Amino acid sequence: MVHTEGALSSRAGQWPAPVPAPGYTGHVPQTENGSAPDAPTALSWVEIDTHALLRNARALKARAGGGLFIAVVKSNAYGHGLELAARTLADTADWFGVNSLAEAERLRAAGIENPVIILGRVPPEDADRAAVARARVVVYDRELADALAAAAARQGVRLPVHLKVETGTNRQGLRGDDLVALARHCASLHALQVEGASMHFADVEDAAAEGFTRGQREAFLGEVGRLREADVRPSVLHAACSAALILYPETVLNAVRVGVALYGLWPSAETRREAARRAPELQLRPVLAWKTRVAQVKTVPAGETVGYGLTHRVERDARIAVLAVGYYDGYDRGLSSRGRVLVRGHAAPIVGRVCMNIAMADVTDVPGVAAGDEVVLLGRGGREAVTAEEIADMLDTINYEVVARINPELPRVPAVSEFGAPSGPVPATARSRA
């Protein structure tokens, strides 16, 4: 027999204020401060410490030494909330980097006026929309260049483009004669401005690959030299990412794209160890906390199983907390009987299989747990913390994936900073820096 101690209470104060997800398509009316009084109550939500986000950005920008600072907010700001992150960083970032045209359009719809560069693919049929969004576009094929030029001409503007240079990562980009041919073609299109050239390091997070990293930098500069010999002179050169900025500031050239480090996440454990030696003054603070609530607490007698597949059998009478979160929300099924959460400042293990919308935690050793209690899935609770790195190790992946895969429909809300001050959101300054 299973004894139920409490079901979810709906009384006021048990749950965070309803807030719509970024990009929510349900047309929930919003007030000026972003609240949505008609939105249903959130079962799980993400809190963003915008104070920490700003601190990280300012520290990293200082390390860039005056180089153009491109804050990368692609993939919903690495899971942190595109609009919230961009509004917070608008007065610190020089440009924003996104992956897609859809993200660029969301920034413009949110009132962000900073220059935006689309780092991923733009289909030629979307060239007109890219021109309307005043987005800079990374190009590596003639078809897209022609489409962008035609769109810019129709809009009566000159559209800046950036050539993607291949230096050894073998993803996007061109090199050698193919690069020069595309560069000359772009330069011949009067509605395009060949403003920049970029590359991406393959293994910069690993200090043992320093020789390969430096070789890529030299290859990039060599290709830029060939462009200049062809009378194509991109003025904005960006190679460095977060790890490159931290470990090899000489790779900044005159611009830098900073992504994961903005959010207080180290690109790798090796980067963090090396940073302690090469840049001891640099301190990154995690920005994100992911939370849910206890929906129910029940006593399960010794010998019974919990969840699908009969995978977890309790060895003693156990108090099991049913959590209102599952793999649909981004809480990975690989954390079944492996992960841990924080309840009332104490760690509690996940037991049984993580379900689509539900997970279970053993709170036998946590006194007083009741329906409605806040549960920390990722972040700090009391003196304990569950980090993205800890979860990544359990799942044999990287911290980037842990945060980026949190369902974008979950609300991202400003949190109270660890320093005690409200953390935002910070309104964007309405001005053009093009």
Encode pLDDT of 140-157 as tens digits. Answer: 999 999 999 999 999 999
The answer to whether 83 and 409 have CB atoms below 8 angstroms apart is: no
> Which of helix, strand or coil describes residue 334?
helix
Q: Above 90 in pLDDT, residue 226? A: yes
Spot the catalytic one: 24, 61, 74, 328: 74
Model confidence at 20, pLDDT cuts 50, 70, 90, reads: very low
Residue from 75, 69, 72, 108 nearest 91 by CA: 69
Q: What percent of the chain has pLDDT over 90?
A: 85
Mean of pLDDT values over 252-256: 96
What is the β-pairing status of strands 384-386 and 3-6?
Answer: unpaired
Peptide bond into 249 cis (omega under 30): no
The whole-angstrom separation of Cα 266 and Cα 252 is 18
Q: Contact 402/267 with Cβ under 8 angstroms?
A: no
What does the pLDDT read at residue 417?
A: 65
Query: Which of 247-256, 320-329, 410-419 bottoms out in mean pLDDT, i.e. has the lowest?
Result: 410-419
For residue 234, give the nearest of 245, 221, 243 by alpha carbon.
Answer: 221
- Helix or strand run (H / E) with residue 377: strand 374-381
The pLDDT, as a whole number, for residue 17 is 41
Q: pLDDT tens digits for 159-215?
A: 999 999 999 999 999 999 999 999 999 999 999 999 999 999 999 999 889 999 999
Between 304 and 207, name the one with better pLDDT.
304
Residue 278 falls in which region: left (phi positive, over 0), alpha (psi -120 to 50) or beta: alpha
Q: What is the pLDDT of residue 208?
A: 85
Average pLDDT over residues 233-253: 96
Q: What is the largest CA-CA distance in the chain?
A: 81
- With bands split at pLDDT 50, 70 and 90, how would you rate the model's confidence at 41? confident
- The verdict on whether 164 is a catalytic residue reads no
The distance from CA 255 to its chain's CA centroid, rounded to whole angstroms, is 20
Output the pLDDT for position 239: 97
Tell me what the mean pLDDT of segment 310-316 comes to: 97
CA–CA separation, 242 and 258 (whole Å) = 5
- 3-state class percentages of the chain: helix first, strand second, coil last, to nearest 5: 35, 25, 45
Judge contact between 144 and 122, C-beta under 8 A. yes
Residue 381 DSSP SS3: strand
More reliable by pLDDT, 430 or 392? 392
Output the six-digit token pair for 265.
Answer: 């996440």
Which pair of tokens denotes residue 260?
Answer: 């994961």
Residue-level pLDDT at 339: 98
Say what percent of the chain tops pLDDT 70: 87
Average pLDDT in the chain: 89
3-state secondary structure of 251: helix
pLDDT at 38: 63
Question: Could you tell me which CATH class the domain 3-42+287-386 is placed in?
Answer: mainly beta
Assign a CATH topology to domain 50-278: TIM Barrel (3.20.20)
Distance between CA 186 and CA 195 in Å, rounded?
10
Instruction: Report pLDDT digits (tens) over 56-86.
Output: 999 999 999 999 999 999 999 999 999 999 9
Q: Where are the domains of the chain?
A: 3-42+287-386, 50-278
**pLDDT, position 42:** 92
DSSP SS3 for 326: coil
61 is catalytic: no
Q: How many whole angstroms separate alpha carbon 118 and alpha carbon 123?
A: 12
Catalytic residue among 78, 263, 308, 400: 308
How many C-beta atoms surround the C-beta of residue 171 within 10 A?
9
Q: What is the pLDDT of residue 207?
A: 83
Residue 15 confidence (pLDDT) above 60:
no
So what's the pLDDT on residue 40?
Answer: 83
Listing DSSP states for 94-106 in one string gives SEEEESSHHHHHH
pLDDT value of position 21 = 40
Judge whether 296 and 6 are in contact, CB under 8 Å.
Answer: yes
Confidence band (pLDDT; 50, 70, 90) for 418? low
Yes or no: say if 137 and 130 are a contact pair by the CB < 8 Å rule. yes
Say if residue 35's pLDDT is above 80.
no
